[in-house]
Amino acid sequence: MSHSHTHNHSHSHTDLKGRNLFISIFLNILITASQIIGGLVSGSLALLSDALHNFSDVLSLLVSYIANRLTKKKASAYRTFGYKRAEILAAFINAATLVIVAVLLIIEAVKRFQNPQEIESNLVIWLSLLGIVANGLSVLLLKKDSDVNMNIRSAYIHLLTDMMASVAVLIGGLLMKFYQIYWVDSILTLVIAIYLIFMGLDLLKESTKVLMLFTPDDIPVKKIVDEINAFKSIKNVHHVHIWQLNEEEIHLEAHIDFNKDITLSEFDYILQDIETLVFKKYQINHVNIQPEFGKDDAKDIIVQD
């Protein structure tokens, strides 16, 4: 069986991601402490819900930071892939916490809506402004990496929704200050929670697909098989597996029947052509091929092991 792969790692970039995550953790600890105190003093559920979300941000950022550090650890005999999946697992955990926090917020918002309470709006306004500034800075720090890394994207979504929540809390504080509309506190909490569920479920679905070794949505398995089958020396491609290990690696594993009993050096040339094909067209950068000649086994493209 032949195996080939291409590495595209940048340790300095990984260090930069870690630094940005660390700064974001510090900022969110500051926001959380301020909003918990402010929410208790003012009586604002929206502010407390924002603080709870910020606390979940701190946890999610810690998970993301630890996962980012783990990916630097080398593989070993007992961990042959190293910790390459740590960031995907972190994304899954963070997505799950988004949904859980949202459900808790909905329960509390419904209770408060049935029994509105007067709220100290000035404190709500100033603390929501603090949340907007601090979360906005964190969002800017993580924006670039969120486009290409699921772990960073999970942390980024936490922070982005929290910044939006702070904007909503600010609007609510202004409405309460000038118009004494206190039930808006509960309405804003519900809006924040629904948005959290929407974003959390999407990321949860995406990370689950990777953890379950599902084929990426944009990889056409049948088309790839047909293109490899078109090679003159190849008789059949079967027993195919394509999965995403992490953000940087997509693996292809397959058995290939050859028309004749070729030499190992001939197989290497063919393998190079296959690697070039799947990498250039589908960004598959790990190829693992089992060559066969006249072997009596299942010839289906997908074989249940």
Residue 250 backbone dihedrals phi, psi, to 5 degrees: -120, 130
Specify the pLDDT at position 89. Answer: 92
| pTM reported for the whole predicted model | 0.77
Dihedrals φ, ψ of 237, to 5°?
A: -115, 125
160 Cβ neighbours under 8 A, 6+ residues apart: 135, 139
Task: Name the maximum alpha-carbon separation found in the chain.
Answer: 85
Residue 9 confidence (pLDDT): 47
Question: How high is the pLDDT of residue 1?
Answer: 54
Return the pLDDT at 7. Answer: 46
Percent helix, strand, coil in the chain, to 5, is: 65, 10, 25
Instruction: Judge whether 237 and 225 are in contact, CB under 8 Å.
Output: yes
**Spatial CB neighbours of 242, under 8 Å, sequence gap ≥ 6:** 215, 216, 219, 221, 224, 250, 251, 252, 253, 284
Residues in the chain where the model's pLDDT stays below 70:
1-16, 46-47, 49-50, 53, 116-119, 305
20's enclosing H/E stretch is: helix 11-42
What domains appear along the chain, each with residue ranges and CATH number?
2-211 (1.20.1510.10), 221-292 (3.30.70.1350)
Spatial distance between the Cα atoms of 173 and 196, rounded to a whole number of angstroms: 21
The per-residue pLDDT for 2 is: 55
What angle is formed at CA 12 by the lines to CA 135 and CA 64, rounded to 5 degrees? 40
Residue 3: per-residue pLDDT: 56
Supply the pLDDT for residue 169: 78
Q: What residue spans of 80-149 are helical by DSSP H? A: 86-114, 121-146
User: 189: closest CA among 103, 271, 259, 274?
Assistant: 103
DSSP symbols for 226-262: HHHHTSTTEEEEEEEEEEE-SSS-EEEEEEEEESS--
The type of residue at 26 is F
Q: What is the pLDDT of residue 8?
A: 46
Quick one: tokens of 113?
Answer: 């809506």
